[in-house]
């Protein structure tokens, strides 16, 4: 029996973190000294700086590879990975710039030159990363280098996006086949093979790509060519079907078909980042890899939270989609119960009781969906024919870190009653606003009981927030991350008001009362 004491996991974790910090700080220090040395010599061509970056990066790579001895401790292992990763980053940036300069540099086709140089750089990084990974034999390094290759290639394709010679949104073509290949590699690779961390990276990278692209307003499937959307969804469906085919040995056919139908429906209807998150989870289950399953579950939860705050769909659309997914889940559960005896389970409950339980659960689900969606449907119908008015805005604040991107709307005082009159108002009630010929609103009067608005007036409900302030509509206007500059010219809030005074903030408008939004 061995008497060696195993190092506690938390000590290994701190050693690993220390190795990364030490390696990156060493890289920063070396680069800072090199930059200071070059600057002290005098003016130099940018190509010389790029060449020095390649040389220093190559030195760090050689140093990191020579340091890589996993049996010498976690600190040394992670120090070597950090040094190698820092060196490859520096060398990649230098090679990209040198290729850009070689192909012509800053000319009329600068964007195309940068993009082509980036694609060649990604190919060179693939070759160098493959060679170094074979030497280091470390899954973490393989995972990181795969992410880096995908990132460089995607960045190059995004730069080429607007060039007619390379088509429209060419980076979108990359994500779906990479996810499919990553699924295949992760499931089929042996446990200690470097293909498994590479496959995991190829599954995670497309999900991050879609999330970043969505925040940058390059929304996959929204306004894109239908062929692109169909190709992507077909590849995602193929990856899911492959996982389900692998799982056929572990689960009964009918329950697997029921859950497969739900998975395919989710992949087809949900945004693409959610589809990749689902494929990650399926791949982890098919490969029986608990660690990656935990990461995949976190990814699915992250996507659901993002989907909840996604402003590209209305609440009614989200509700209908979730209801459809719930119905599909119920259908799968019923099939599983119906054919439970097919997997060798004993029928412990009479058939009639099982049918009654299924019917009761279905009735409960229908009632819940009806109650939840009734108010949503009523509001959508009520505001369909509501009057659209404009409330003038004052200065605005840009965003909130916790809630996401939004504008704090500070309405001008001329839409409110005088401060002294507000103090006497009850906590809730209604106020009449006067509309000009452009439906721009201003305060008109506080109505008495039974008063009706005049021809140029409109009734609007208010809520008293404190003794001197009231509110007609929410004063936070949310928008997609990355669209803050788009809404900077806002001067009016577009509000729909029903006949009974219920108000909803729908959009913002510029000084000419033109609606502001993506694509406008």
pLDDT 10s digits, 154-179? 888 878 765 444 444 566 678 889 98
Calculate mean pLDDT across residues 57-84: 82
- 139-159 vs 195-215: helix crossing angle, rounded to 10: 40
The tally of CA atoms less than 13 A away on the side-chain side of residue 437 is 0
Question: For residues 378 and 343, which has the higher predicted lDDT (pLDDT)?
Answer: 378
Q: What are phi and psi of 400, to 5 degrees?
A: -130, 135
pLDDT for the residue 175: 83
pLDDT for the residue 149: 93
Burial code (b: 16+ CB inside 10 Å, e: under 16) for 224-254 equals eeeebbeebbebbbebbebbbebbeeeebeb
- DSSP H helices, 339-392, are 351-384
Calculate mean pLDDT across residues 399-419: 67
- Count of Cβ atoms closer than 10 Å to residue 428 Cβ: 10
Per-residue tokens: 431: 């106020």
Q: Residues 428, 430, 435, 438: is their CA dihedral positive or negative?
A: positive
pTM (two decimals): 0.61
* Low-confidence winner among 148-157, 251-260, 357-366, 458-467 (lowest mean pLDDT): 357-366
The C-alpha atoms of residue 496 and residue 494 are separated, in whole angstroms, by: 7
**509 with 515: CB under 8 angstroms?**
yes
Q: For the segment 187-210, what is each residue's pLDDT rounded down to a tens digit?
A: 988 877 888 899 999 998 888 887
The C-alpha atoms of residue 175 and residue 242 are separated, in whole angstroms, by: 18
Per-residue tokens: 359: 């019917």
pLDDT for the residue 312: 56
pLDDT category of residue 78 using cuts at 50, 70 and 90: confident
The C-alpha atoms of residue 60 and residue 58 are separated, in whole angstroms, by: 5
On the question of pLDDT at 360 being above 70, the answer is no
On the question of pLDDT at 127 being above 90, the answer is yes
Could you tell me the residue ranges of all domains in the chain?
12-167, 169-308, 312-339+351-383, 387-516
Percent of the chain with pLDDT over 70: 65
């Amino acid at each position: 029996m061995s008497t060696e004491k195993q190092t506690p996991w938390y000590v290994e974790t701190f050693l690993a973190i220390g190795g990364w910090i030490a390696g990156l700080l060493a890289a920063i220090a070396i680069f800072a000294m090199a930059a200071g040395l070059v600057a002290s010599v005098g003016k130099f061509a940018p190509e010389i700086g790029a060449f020095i970056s390649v040389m220093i990066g190559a030195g760090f790579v050689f140093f990191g590879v020579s340091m890589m001895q996993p049996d010498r401790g976690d600190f040394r292992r992670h120090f070597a990975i950090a040094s190698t990763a820092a060196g490859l980053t520096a060398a990649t940036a230098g090679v990209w710039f040198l290729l850009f300069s070689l192909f012509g540099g800053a000319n009329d086709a600068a964007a195309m030159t940068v993009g082509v140089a980036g694609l060649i750089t990604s190919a060179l990084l693939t070759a160098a990363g493959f060679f170094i990974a074979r030497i280091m034999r470390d899954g973490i390094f393989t995972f990181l280098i795969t992410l880096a290759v995908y990132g460089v290639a995607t960045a190059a394709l995004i730069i080429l996006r607007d060039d007619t010679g390379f088509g429209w949104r060419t980076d979108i073509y990359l994500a779906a086949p990479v996810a499919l290949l990553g699924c295949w590699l992760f499931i089929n690779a042996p446990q200690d093979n470097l293909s498994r961390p590479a496959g995991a990276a190829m599954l995670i990278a497309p999900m991050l790509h879609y999330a970043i692209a969505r925040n940058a307003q390059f929304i996959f499937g929204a306004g894109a060519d239908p062929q692109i959307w169909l190709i992507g969804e077909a590849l995602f469906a193929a990856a899911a079907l492959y996982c389900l085919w692998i799982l056929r040995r572990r689960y009964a056919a009918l329950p697997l078909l029921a859950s497969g139908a739900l998975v395919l429906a989710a992949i087809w209807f949900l945004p693409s980042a959610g589809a990749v998150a689902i494929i990650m989870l399926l791949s982890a289950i098919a490969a029986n890899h608990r660690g990656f399953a935990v990461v995949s579950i976190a990814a699915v939860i992250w996507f659901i939270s993002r989907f909840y705050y996604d402003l590209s769909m209305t609440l009614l659309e989200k509700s209908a989609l979730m209801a459809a997914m719930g119905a599909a889940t119920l259908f799968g559960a019923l099939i599983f119960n119906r054919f439970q005896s097919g997997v060798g389970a004993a029928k412990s409950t009479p058939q009639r009781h099982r049918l009654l339980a299924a019917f009761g659960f279905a009735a409960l689900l229908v009632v819940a969906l009806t109650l939840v969606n009734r108010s949503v449907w009523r509001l959508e119908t009520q505001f369909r024919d509501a009057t659209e008015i404009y409330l003038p805005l004052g200065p605005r604040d840009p965003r909130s870190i916790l809630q996401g991107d939004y504008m704090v709307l500070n309405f001008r005082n001329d839409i409110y009653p005088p401060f002294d009159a507000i103090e006497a108002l009850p906590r809730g009630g209604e106020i009449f606003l006067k509309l000009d010929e452009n439906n721009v609103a201003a305060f008109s009067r506080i109505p008495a009981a039974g008063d009706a608005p005049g021809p140029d007036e409109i009734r609007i409900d208010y809520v008293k927030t404190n003794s001197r302030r009231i509110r007609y509509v929410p004063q936070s206007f949310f928008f997609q991350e990355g669209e803050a500059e788009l809404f900077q010219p806002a001067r009016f809030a577009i509000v729909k008001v029903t006949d009974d005074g219920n108000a909803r903030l729908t959009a913002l408008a510029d000084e000419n009362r033109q609606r502001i939004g993506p694509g406008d």
